[in-house]
Structure 1
Amino acid sequence: MEFNIRNPLTLFTHSCPSIFLAEYDDLPTLKATDADICFRREAICSISQFACKFDPFISYLAVNYLDRFLSTQAIPQQPKPWVLRLVAVCCVSLAAKMNEADFSLTDVQADGGFMFDAQTVERMEYVILGALKWRMRSITPFSFVSFFISFFNRKDPSLTQALNARAVEIIFKAQSDIKVLEFKPSIIAASALLSASNELFPLLFPSYHKAISSCLYIHKENPLECYNWMVGKERDDSMVYSCNTAVNVLDHQFSCSESENGKISDYSENQTPISLRSNTVDDES
């Protein structure tokens, strides 16, 4: 049966408390060394590239597998580039298989980087599966969104849909930051909904926060810490986007001005183009 990231325990008889208990089983461990942070960041970039044609939930699940895998591994200070790429390819492959999505190893590796054959990918998949103890039905924040959204009591379905959509967007964006591993999936879901509600219905935020904080399953954990981090991240991301937009506009204007004046680009005559050579990796050595 196809895996449903919103309802990962579909195959089992379960009550609401069981999903909150199950989230403790496979929590990734936060490892904040420079090597871990760098490896994770670059692997996520590769996963985003490999999974760009799939449902975004496949990419999210792949990064979840990555985080759980990295929790069990010691990352060398300077890992070989092909190792990072192989791990990323395998995480996407496993996530696609869980969602019964069509996965073509050739299509995924069409960017011209290191190429892996099916046997190499399969061997690495087994390594990852072993590290994850074959527990592939990950509990993610999406598993709790429907539960917490019921606390908001919006009678207008369109408003509820808007709240859900914005919370999902916040959850997706939060995954790229390693700090997200400090929080349980349920807390991330609750905080994302609070952040979305503060954007969409700011006057009702105090009552929503009170309702969620009174939830039996999270009453000992104040979601405000995660919420404040999310709000800060959204603000920082917006500032970066605004700055980049302004720089791009200025750069465009500057380039146009140079062209009008008959000037060439500032590419040095001593610089030579860099060409990337494709490589084929047939084994793990």
Structure 2
Amino acid sequence: MDDLLCHETWLSSSSHDLHDDSSIVEPKPLFRCSSCDEYENEEFELAFSVCIDKEIAYMPEPNYVSYLYFNHLIPARVRVIQWFLKCRSRLNLSFGTVFYAANYLDRFISICQCDEWKYWMVELLSITCLSTAIKFHEISAFTLHEIQVEGLYHSYESDSILRMELILLKALGWRLNTVTPYSIVETVVCYVQSSLRPYLHEKIMSRVTELLLQATLDLRMLEFRQSVVGICALWCSIDQLYPSVSDAFITYIAKLFNQSQKDDLIDCHKIMEISTALEGSGHHYIKAQPV
């Protein structure tokens, strides 16, 4: 292990996410444009376009899904994300931190293209991704011992984790302020939350989060851009909880995408709708298996 950490061999082949009308307030211009709110619309559209412009730099390398299949890493990846969620609950972390950690994980694995993965390597990487995401995204600090206190098969010395953090940072090009489907949703919701009564806003965010966590475990979602997955999760949630503005919402948002991305929105939305139907029927199409 020390030899692997001291010599950055993992980088040698780098290629560089019911209808109660009394709860609804008249929606703001995100759903209905008006000249008096033109500045607010322009501000949102600029923020959204910035996210779209930069998101491609925070995606895994091409053919990442094929690499996961070929190297039998799918069960390990599912287990790691489930561990992130357990740590989120135990340490009271934000969901944003979980999505950051998952992004770091996918980007690193896709970049390093290691010839032979051992599960201890995946665990060490998962601890490193979570600790880095916590440092970047959380206000409270946690020791490396607190992070790895349960749910792992191995225990790692702080020095090993810190050296692995440096390898991770170099591999990611020190680009940690990543765009995730969750951050995309946060960008959109901050412009529409005043249109909703507080408890309905909470219901929408709760449902969006559920869908995005499910999407994180679905390898098909790795083929779509972060903005597409995030908007589709919000689209599905609004369909269920706020149907009176659903069509207006997606019509408005779709104008901010190019034609290829609009096609991806349709494809991704179909997948997410089917997954939601399976979830409602009690079927779970992804389960973690022993590595």
- Please report the TM-score for the alignment, with normalisation by the length of structure 2: 0.68
2:131 to 80, 90, 93: 93
Q: Which residue of 1 aligns with 2:102?
A: 63
Larger deviation, residues 174-183 vs 40-49? 40-49
Stretches of structure 2 lacking an aligned partner (at least 5 in a row):
1-44, 285-291
Q: How many residues align?
A: 227
Structure 1 match to 2:54? 22
Residue of structure 1 equivalent to 2:5: none
For 2:193 and 2:140, locate their aligned partners in 1 and report how far apart those are by CA, in whole Å: 35
Report if the CA contact (8 A) 1:148-1:212 is conserved: no
1:41 and 2:78 are equivalent in the alignment? yes
1:145-179 Cα offsets, whole Å, 9 max, x none, are 25545897984434444334422332232112222
More helix by share: 2
CA contact (8 A) 2:96 2:183 kept: no
Displacement of 1:208 in angstroms is 3.1
Q: Rg bigger for which structure?
A: 1
Q: Give ranges in structure 1 of 5+ residues lacking alignment.
A: 1-13, 243-285
Contact 1:109-1:115 at 8 Å conserved across structures: yes
Aligned to 2:120: 82
Distance in 2 (alpha carbons) for counterparts of 1:154 and 1:206: 19
SS at match of 2:222: helix
- 1:131 alignment partner in structure 2: 171
Instruction: Describe the SS at the equivalent of 1:134.
Output: coil
- Normalising by structure 1, we get a TM-score of 0.70
The letter of the residue matching 1:124 is M
Matched residue type, 1:131: A
Identify if the C-alpha distance between structure 1 residues 161 and 37 changes in structure 2 by more than 3 Å, giving closer, same or farther. same
CA distance in 2 between partners of 1:91 and 1:151 (Å): 30
Q: Which amino acid aligns with 2:142?
A: F
Contact 2:96/2:182, CA 8 A, preserved across alignment: no
Pick which of 98-107 and 20-29 moved more. Answer: 98-107
Query: Which residue type is aligned with residue 104 of structure 1?
Result: T
Secondary structure of 2:57's match? coil
Structure 1: how far apart are the matches of 2:153 and 2:96? Answer: 25
Alignment partners' CA distance in 1, 2:115 and 2:76: 9
Distance 1:47 1:235 in 2: 25
Equivalent-residue separation in structure 2 for 1:151 and 1:91 (angstroms): 30
Counterpart for residue 118 of structure 1: 158
Q: 1:154 to 1:194 in 2, by over 3 A?
A: farther
Structure 2 counterpart of 1:226, from 259, 265, 268: 268
The equivalent position to 2:256 in structure 1, one of 216, 231, 235, is 216
* Bigger mean CA deviation after superposition, 20-29 or 162-171: 162-171
CA contact (8 A) 1:28 1:67 kept: yes
Residue 119 of structure 1 deviates from its aligned partner by 0.6
Match of 1:275 in 2: none
Q: Tell me the secondary structure at the aligned position of residue 58 of structure 2.
A: coil
How far did residue 39 of structure 1 move?
3.2
Q: Call closer, same or farther: CA 1:152–1:206 in 2, change over 3 Å.
A: farther
Aligned residue number for residue 181 of structure 2: 141
**Relative contact order (alpha carbons < 8 A, sep ≥ 6): 1 or 2 greater?**
2
Superposed displacement of residue 226, structure 1: 0.9
For 1:18 and 1:176, the matched residues in 2 are separated by 26
For 2:282, the equivalent position in structure 1 comes to 240
The code of the aligned residue for 2:65 comes to K
The offset of 1:20, in angstroms, is 1.6
